[in-house]
Amino acid sequence: MMHFADSLTFSGRKVVAAWAALPFPALSGSSLPDILSAHQQDVPWKLLSLWREQKVSCCFAQSVVLRGICKERLTSCPGQPQSPLHSCESPEQLLQQYFHTHFPGAFSTSHVLQQPCDTQPPFPQFFSPLLTRRGFLLDKAQGYSSAGVESMPVLAALQSSPVLHTLLSGLCRDLRARDLRRWSSFFSAGVEQDDFQEALEELKTLSQCYETGFGADGSEGEAESD
C-alpha cells in the first residue's frame, strides 16, 4: 500500500485518502452510463474517515476500482436520453471520461472487475431492504430480509486531494491543543518533547502541500491559525 500511495503522490505529498461506495448506487436494470450520468453534480462515493463530511471538488491524482458491473450494463434501454458517457466503448473508457469531467487535469487510473463483492455471512448484514440479493437498488423495499444480500457492486478509490489539507491540519491542531506534560507515559516511551514539536511542524508542512490556493476545501484560514 505504501508503494501504491507513492505512485499517486508528488510535490511533497505523502498520503492519500480512501473513499468508497458500498454499495455502488446502481439501480436494478440500469446501465453504467445512466448511473454515472445521475451523479454529475457529485461523485457517488464517500470519504472513509471519521472527519466531518467532505465533498470532492478537485483532486491531484487518484486510482479507482469498480467491481460488480457487468459489460451488459454499458448500454441503455432504447429511447433513453443519451450523453457523452453513452458513447464510450468500455467501462474503463467510461470511467476515464467521467473523471475527466469532474477532475480535469488530474492523473486518474481505473480498473473494472466483473466479480462483485461477496457479502454473505460472516460479512456484517447491515443492508437496506431497498437492495436486491445482488446489491442493486430498488424503488421500494423488497419482501425479504436485507440479510439475503449475497453480493453487491462496489467502487473504491485512493485519492490525493485538497481534502487532506483539512484532515492533516485538523490533526495538527488537535495535537497542539493537548498538554502532553500530563501524559508522562508518552515521553517515558522514548519520545522527546523537541522531537514531538518537530513532528508537528512536519505535519503542518505536509498539510500545506495539499492546499490549492483557491479555497477548494474551505480550510486555508484554519491552517493560518495554527
pLDDT tens, position by position, 124-177: 888 888 888 899 988 877 665 555 889 999 999 999 988 899 889 988 998 888
Average pLDDT over residues 12-22: 91
| % the chain with pLDDT above 90 | 23
Q: How many whole angstroms separate alpha carbon 108 and alpha carbon 91?
A: 14
Give the separation between CA 125 and CA 161, rounded to whole angstroms: 32
pLDDT at 88: 82
* Mean pLDDT lowest among 9-13, 55-59, 69-73, 81-85: 69-73
Predicted local confidence at residue 81, as pLDDT = 52
How many Å apart are CA 150 and CA 31, to the nearest integer?
Answer: 21
Cα–Cα distance for residue pair 110/173, rounded to 1 Å: 35
pTM above the 0.85 mark? no
Residue 26 has pLDDT above 50, yes or no: yes
Residue 219 has pLDDT above 60, yes or no: no
Number of H helices, E strands in the chain: 7, 7
CA angle 62, 134, 19 (to 5 degrees): 20
Domain ranges of the chain: 1-160, 165-209
Q: What is the pLDDT of residue 53?
A: 60
The pLDDT value recorded for residue 226 is 41
Q: Indicate whether 222 pLDDT > 70.
A: no
Q: Using the CB atoms, write b or e for 174-184: b if 16+ within 10 Å.
A: eeeeeeeeeee
Among the listed ranges 46-50, 176-180, 193-197, 212-216, which one has the minimum average pLDDT value? Answer: 212-216
pLDDT 10s digits, 107-118: 999 999 989 999
Portion of the chain with pLDDT greater than 70, in percent: 82
Angle at 8 between CA 160 and CA 63, to 5 degrees: 80
Give residue 77's pLDDT: 52
Higher pLDDT, 80 or 138: 138
pLDDT of residue 221: 41
Quote the mean pLDDT of the chain. Answer: 81
